[in-house]
Structure 1
Amino acid sequence: MKRTASVLLLLTYFAATSAQTRPAVAATPPMGWNSYNCYGSAIHENEVKANARYMARHLKQYGWQYVVVDFLWSYDNPPGSNIGNPFQKNLDDGSFIPWLTMDKWGRLTPQPTKFPSAFGGKGFAPLAKYVHALGLKFGIHVMRGIPRQAVWARSPVLGAKGITADMIADTNSKCSWMNHMYGLDMAKPGAQAYLNSLLKLYAAWGVDFIKVDDIARPYSASEIEGYSKAIANCGRPMVLSISPGETPFKQAVHLKQNVNMWRMADDFWDNWSMQLKMFDYAKQWEGTGGPGHWPDCDMLQIGKLSKRGPVGPERYSRFTEDELYTHMTFWCIYRSPLILGGNLPENRPLEVRLFSNAEVLAVNQQGANPRQLYKRDSTMVWYSHLTGSKNIYAALFNLSDHPKEVDIDFDDLNMNGNVGVRDLWKKQDLGSFKKSYKHKINAHGALLLKLSTNDKLSRK
């Protein structure tokens, strides 16, 4: 009995030690790059590597780390082809054309014509190794469920003897905008085994981030839990991001228990009206973010976009310079994940300034409990607390179409006496002020401040 008790104590000790030393996943909002906004489905391996090299050389030092290959990497886009959506024309015809690259277990694998290093069944392992060698992390996008062609082929499910794909698919569960997957009936024997086999494959490739699409709206709770369980058992820490929005707010507790990032809205693009609407979405989800679970404003629409689709012509972001600063400022004060959408090697000095300001990025990574202070008369203020100090970050926004004065009352933030004010974008101390601070801001512009009560500046 004593020996048994000792063994149990040792097992408990090692389990606790393992839990304490296991790397935290998304303890702060993930920062990285995703291929969708500039390449759609038509991204090729050499372009992924070019963006990874740029990140390693210019952005890694500021905390940017994830390199994510977005959708349809198992589909053959010939070099130079544009995205479109090859599935949109025949959503309901039951067709399995175009054919996707898939292994014998019904798991999609990279198309070797787009990702040459995947030849010979290597999958994404060589590309992940390349990204890891740069000191970065690697991620992929997947569609919820199981390929229809696996169901048609009755592919066996790895780890579930006697179970085939047609036995676990919910053929009534279909994506409304892409016709190559069925949902999984998680109540069926073998459904969880399929997801487990999928995530173990990704872990073997070296995947650090998985974005699951067509799962947040409509909300597929059982499949979300299935992916979460599969990640927990795959042997490798991974960020779990779900999309698209609008994710139901009533699922906030379930989300925090199962995923690391969830989209608040549908795809966000470089459109001022969408930016205004995002403020409303963010207010609804206020207070739900925290270590390990973050409401996601979607990718940053900054830089060279839509080189091969998916929305509009190839262009640099249509946001004005003031709107770009508002865009980046809000994502930071709100502590949204920061996922770049533009083609990084084509960054101009403007993009470099937006992505490499350590003081601004600290607001995203070190702020706590972001809240809206007020929204009135086409002006708005959000704030957060700097962890471990009495300092406060404050973001002032002019939402109107003309220059306007925006003010912040220190009493509303429980700050007394002289308050030191620092402009984080300009990296300049503006002085010490009593009671309030106000500043004239350009149309659609923003100001990001650090407020400190222990500042020694004497200006009133």
Structure 2
Amino acid sequence: MNKNDFAPAPPMGWNSYDYYDTTVNEEQVRANADYMAKNLKEFGWEYIIVDIQWYAHHTGSRREQFQYIPFSKLEMDEYSRLQPDPVRFPSSAGGAGFAPLAAYIHSLGLKFGIHIMRGIPRAAAHAHSKILGTDVAADEVADPSSICGWNPDMYGVRNTSAGQAYYDSILKLYASWGVDFIKCDDICNTNLYTEHPYSARHEIEMISTAITRLGRPIVLSLSPGPALIDKAWHYGRYANMWRITDDFWDDWDLLKNMFCRCELWQKHVSRGCYPDLDMLPLGRLGKGFGKERQTNFTCQEQRTMMTLWCLFGSPLMLGAELTLLDEWTLSLLTNKEILSLATPDCRPWQIHRDETQAIWTGCNETDGSFYVALFNLSDKEKEISVSLEELFFCPYVRNPNIKGQDVIQLRDLWKDEISMFTGSTISQSVKPHDCVIYKIG
């Protein structure tokens, strides 16, 4: 199977991290899945992803000291493979793993994903645990010189046949559970090693190989960023998503910086290959961090974020507690016109960017739809203008009829309002940190 067919459009879903941190449990996952199936599935939202440390005991119990409790007890089988904590995930008891939870999510017409750390559990290496299908123990597979700087659970995996056997065994297990999506961490940029930030390159290839051998589609997402632009070809060959930023939160300076990152990566969006702008910090956030709050983004900033993520073609992952979504947030997530931009058929193109504004176009190469977005990056209301000449310079324009028209129709995708345009320049007053996006013609 071609891995590019695993995600023909940027994946859209929910991830437990932004609200629950390390503490999410089965009941909470099911509640968010129920909400998605009822309220969001028809708009393309389909993945339910359990984020970090689902295998660790007593998560969050010492949060004032540690996000990840040093060398805590991990649930693990005899073959060095991590298992869900049965206290938080009761249906996993007796070796069932995530299969019952995945089956429930599939019954809703949704897909199921999990977070993993690259590598093999340190506890397995110290205990000389078995590796399925080999006569080699975990201590011979583990590379103690390759660790994560912020999580204590794993050693890196050596680039050996036994190392590949270990990755084959965990992917086979995940497939048997019904996993459709894997977010692998400490692998896109191994930032502890500043002189060798792509030190886990071989592990990306090993995981990709293990998925290919399954003959079953599992989307592979790589974290954390920032991804290395000179390795774009490698990410695209072996993964479906890769983070081009470190953790993104609800701060305007971080959002403004995303325009720089999108400029850098705009030519690398294609079918099955998606530079990832990270999760959407909307709605209620931070409970697992001990700082529950409504997003700090203003309504204008939220609109800017959704427009940029969709027009750029980033995966869309919600971090909020879905059952607490307010009507405003729900309206952002169910705007079909905006969400329709998030397809590899709609090619993004930046026309202009400076400290105060950014102008982007998108052209759908399949149906010829053409869009322009005007972003106000400044702290004051601003008139933003773009000439038709600049718009039609976009190399992806496929609708020659637009160029010859004396009067052009503009449809505001957020307001669902139509206006008629004559002249050579489109100009609009835009509020601070806000945007407008028009479908042209």
Q: TM-score, normalised by structure 2?
A: 0.92
How many Å apart are 1:167 and its aligned residue? 0.7
Partner of 1:9: none
Partner of 2:176: 204
2-structure distance, mates of 1:424, 1:87: 41
Partner of 1:4: none
1:344-365: per-residue Cα shift (whole Å, max 9, x none)?
A: 1000011111000101100113
1-structure distance, mates of 2:65, 2:343: 35
Structure 1 unpaired stretches of 5+: 1-18, 91-96, 453-460
How many Å apart are 1:391 and its aligned residue? 2.6
Structure-to-structure mapping, 1:172-191, within 5 angstroms: 172-186=145-159, 188-191=160-163
1-structure distance, mates of 2:32, 2:351: 38
Contact 2:4 2:271 in 1 (8 A): no
Q: Which runs of 4+ in 1 moved over 4 A?
A: 80-90
Partner of 2:193: none
How high is the sequence identity, in percent, across the aligned residues? 42
Q: TM-score, normalised by structure 1?
A: 0.89
- Specify the code of the residue in structure 2 equivalent to 1:51: N
Partner of 1:398: 376
Contact 2:270 2:344 in 1 (8 A): no
1:118 aligns with 2:96: no
Contact 1:421 1:429 in 2 (8 A): yes
Partner of 1:446: 435
1:74-107: per-residue Cα shift (whole Å, max 9, x none)?
A: 01237x85756746575xxxxxx31100000000
**SS state of the match for residue 224, structure 2?**
coil
Contact 2:4 2:240 in 1 (8 A): no
Q: 1:86 to 1:147 in 2, by over 3 A?
A: farther
1:138 aligns with 2:112: yes
1:106-126: per-residue Cα shift (whole Å, max 9, x none)?
A: 000000000010011100000
2-structure distance, mates of 1:216, 1:184: 15
Structure-to-structure mapping, 1:25-40, within 5 angstroms: 25-40=6-21
- From 365, 372, 392, the equivalent of 1:387 is 365
- From 425, 430, 438, the equivalent of 1:436 is 425
Q: 1:389 to 1:435 in 2, by over 3 A?
A: farther
Partner of 2:222: 242
1-structure distance, mates of 2:181, 2:424: 45
Partner of 1:227: 207
How many Å apart are 1:377 and its aligned residue? 5.8
Structure 2 unpaired stretches of 5+: 191-197, 393-401
Contact 1:241 1:259 in 2 (8 A): yes
Structure (1 or 2) with the larger CA radius of gyration? 1
- Specify the code of the residue in structure 1 equivalent to 2:104: Y
1-structure distance, mates of 2:337, 2:370: 13
Q: 1:47 to 1:196 in 2, by over 3 A?
A: same
Structure-to-structure mapping, 1:21-420, within 5 angstroms: 24-77=5-58, 81=61, 83=63, 86=66, 97-160=71-134, 162-186=135-159, 188-218=160-190, 219=198, 220-309=200-289, 313-365=291-343, 367-376=345-354, 378-414=356-392, 415-416=402-403, 417=405, 418-420=407-409
Between stretches 432-441 and 220-229, larger displacement belongs to 432-441
Tell me the C-alpha RMSD between the 2 structures: 1.8
Contact 1:86 1:98 in 2 (8 A): no
Contact 1:41 1:77 in 2 (8 A): no
How many Å apart are 1:274 and its aligned residue? 0.4
Q: 1:171 to 1:154 in 2, by over 3 A?
A: same
Contact 1:81 1:308 in 2 (8 A): no
Contact 2:4 2:272 in 1 (8 A): no
- Specify the code of the residue in structure 1 equivalent to 2:417: Q
Contact 2:33 2:105 in 1 (8 A): yes
Between stretches 377-386 and 240-249, larger displacement belongs to 377-386
2-structure distance, mates of 1:430, 1:102: 61
Contact 1:367 1:393 in 2 (8 A): no
